Chains A and B, each alone.
Chain A
Amino acid sequence: MKVFRLSQAELDDMVQQWSTTRRVYRPATGRQQPAQADCAPGWERAGDGAPLTVAAGPSKASVKTFLFPQPETMQTYSLKSSDPDRALLKEAAKAADKQIVVGLRPCDARSVQLNNLPYRDDPYYQAGLVRTVMVGFTCKAMCSTCFCDQMGGSPMATEGLDIAVSQLDDSFVAEALTPAGEELTAGLDLTPAADSDLKALAALRKDCPQPDNARLDTLKGRDLNTLYKAPLWQGLGESCINCGACTFICPTCYCFDVQDEVVRGAGRRIRYWDSCMFPLYSLHTTGHNPRGLKMQRTRNRFMHKLKYFPDRFGPFSCVGCGRCVQDCPVNIDIREVISDLLTVE
């Protein structure tokens, strides 16, 4: 592992240099900025010379869009009658060029690891992991809606990052943690971190909230049916408007739907984000809907994150980034849901 010390100007210069040969993305600085053609909502291309500033807390849009694009073209085909390969599905060409994501937070880096549990055999996600280099910023402070430390993470965690940038009093420390990270720093004129920098970094790590799962982990031992039948779902379901905001801004919601799109004989099969909040999600062709009630759908999302997923994979499917807490139109707060679930008799 190599550790460097950077000023703001040197940090900007480093990003600028990357952007001359690779695509570099950063969290969009303002909503007014129209999403650029090859950028997902909430992200923009870095390298325009503007200084890199990363607002405290998680970025508006999560990093999942880089590994789990909205949409992902899975296969392509032709429906032209003249084509001998008519209706033959072919694997779509996968982008293989490296993309660099700058400015994600430790919670998002952890979400990539969590989603990799169900997606460990998914070719598209795995290809995304290979081509995406993540340059994250650790958090010197937590927002009021952050609770990463309660969900098994930590504001200073570096797990899942290729380069971790931490802010000291008047400078930054960049740790190149993986071969991909070291490759990015190689050949750049960077100042190695001094002992005092390393000490300062270690002090920050020591003082920051440490992963503290003890209390939440009691949820994992709870009986599924008790939680499933808890009375709190009724009230939540009544407030919930069943939009997909929480699921789309969530870094660990990973459901998808598959659709065929044909334009003038050229077809593609895409997968794109779906939301278990939508009634269509579980609707049978017969008209029967196993989760036909709003309450059932609201419950499904929380039960998936807090019970079904940990039962299958171990950790909760939540990194405590607090995006849904911030953006839920009806203020359904997962922290309150967890607190209430812990006290269910």
Chain B
Amino acid sequence: MISYLPYPVRIDDITVETEDGNLKTFKLVFENEAQQKAWKHVPGQFAMLSLAGQGEIPIGIASSPTEQGHLLFTVNRAGKVTTALHQMHPGARMGVRGPLGNGFPIDTEMKGKNIVIIAGGFAVTTLRATLIYLMEHRRDYGKITFIYGARTPGMLLYQKELQEWAKRDDVELHITVDREAPGWNGLVGFVPTIAGQVAPSPENSVALICGPPIMIKFTMPPLEKIGWTDDQVYLSLENRMKCGEGLCCHCNVGPTLVCKDGPVFTRSQVRQLPLEY
């Protein structure tokens, strides 16, 4: 039986991620230890963040299941609930309902393969969860390539972690910004361009791409050029949703429910769908 009752959690810590202050990462700790222990998610899944008096919003889970004891959500301030959430302080009570959706196929199609992660803007959140999970289970996967771009250096999320990951020799990291910026010594250029330059061969590989639609659109041709097919590429869709359990119907893309059948789809699955996302 479905439960629509969110688990009570406390905001343990809030990190302002970007220079414009519009993205904050909320570290949430369960009030009830049993509920915390029972919580199990896969990278790529999402949860409903619940604010009493405001409502619920679906947000991708930014923490990896291997990070025990808390959940991380990076939230862009955009609407009614996210604005209220941005005004909250550590110690405040809120709710989490989930985990919801299917998540990335970490135990099936991704196992033993080379993984290419391509992220643009703040869509990187669930891919952070994925990368951390992959690094914790490093031997289960082949070569890992992580390509991530933002408009400016100040708009990059998880900057401290990016620096740490860069030191590792078992992950190939390509961080790029759209334009030259003072103090930036890294790559400059749009994600599709960089992806075209650094993407490995499609052999025994899987790509996870999350970002604005325009980025995904332009990332595909360079990949296709070197032989990638739509079946190897995983995308995550977003639509307005209310229940997250496949009942309220808000998120349907034609016959497909993003909350229940997704949010992760292969690109060939997405191509079969009507343009309702």
In their complex, do chains A and B touch, with some C-beta pair under 8 Å?
Answer: yes
Complex Cα distance A259/B243, Å? Answer: 11
B78–A286 touching, CB < 8 Å: yes
Q: Does A345 contact B (CB under 8 A)?
A: no
Complex Cα distance A217/B52, Å? Answer: 46
Chain B contact residue count (CB 8 A cutoff)? 40
A260–B55 touching, CB < 8 Å: yes
Nearest CB of B to A278, in Å: 11
Q: Is the interface of B mostly helix, strand, loop or mixed?
A: loop
Write the chain B residue with the least CB distance to A79.
B53
Complex Cα distance A330/B94, Å? Answer: 45
Q: Which residues of B contact A284 (CB under 8 A)?
A: 238-240
Mark interface residues in B80-103 (1 if CB within 8 Å of A CB, else 0). 001000000000111100000000
- Contact A256 to B242, CB < 8 A, known contacts A89-B52, A91-B5, A262-B53: yes
A87–B250 touching, CB < 8 Å: no
Complex Cα distance A88/B93, Å? Answer: 7
Complex Cα distance A225/B253, Å? Answer: 12
Q: Does B182 contact A (CB under 8 A)?
A: no
Write the chain B residue with the least CB distance to A90.
B5
Q: Which residues of A contact B249 (CB under 8 A)?
A: 254-255, 276, 304
- Contact A256 to B243, CB < 8 A, known contacts A276-B249, A304-B249: yes
B254–A224 touching, CB < 8 Å: yes
B253–A118 touching, CB < 8 Å: no
Residues of chain B from 228 to 276 with CB closer than 8 A to chain A in the complex? 238-240, 242-243, 245-250, 252-255, 274-276
Q: Does B184 contact A (CB under 8 A)?
A: no
How big is the A interface, by class?
35 or more
Q: Does B79 contact A (CB under 8 A)?
A: yes
A260: contacting residue among B53, B82, B274, CB under 8 A: B53
- Contact A258 to B239, CB < 8 A, known contacts A87-B52, A89-B8, A123-B3: no
A119: contacting residue among B8, B54, B238, B247, CB under 8 A: B247
Complex Cα distance A97/B238, Å? Answer: 40
Mark interface residues in A282-319 (1 if CB within 8 Å of B CB, else 0). 11111000110000100010011001100110000000
Complex Cα distance A154/B112, Å? Answer: 55
B250–A291 touching, CB < 8 Å: no
- Contact A89 to B248, CB < 8 A, known contacts A282-B239, A286-B78, A290-B276: no
- Contact A296 to B276, CB < 8 A, known contacts A88-B8, A260-B54, A290-B239: yes
Task: Tell me the A residues contacting B by CB distance below 8 Å.
Answer: 74-75, 77, 79, 86-91, 118-119, 121-123, 126, 224-225, 228, 254-260, 262, 267, 269, 271, 274, 276, 281-286, 290-291, 296, 300, 303-304, 307-308, 311-312
Extra 12 A-B pairs, beta carbons < 8 Å, given A89-B95, A258-B56, A300-B276: A74-B5, A75-B4, A88-B8, A89-B50, A118-B246, A228-B254, A258-B242, A258-B248, A260-B53, A260-B55, A285-B78, A291-B276
Query: 7 nearest interchain CB pairs?
Result: A285-B79, A308-B255, A87-B52, A255-B249, A290-B276, A285-B78, A87-B93
Can you list 17 pairs linking A and B with CB atoms under 8 Å apart? A75-B5, A77-B52, A77-B53, A86-B93, A87-B53, A89-B8, A119-B247, A257-B248, A257-B250, A258-B55, A258-B242, A271-B248, A281-B240, A282-B276, A284-B239, A285-B79, A300-B276
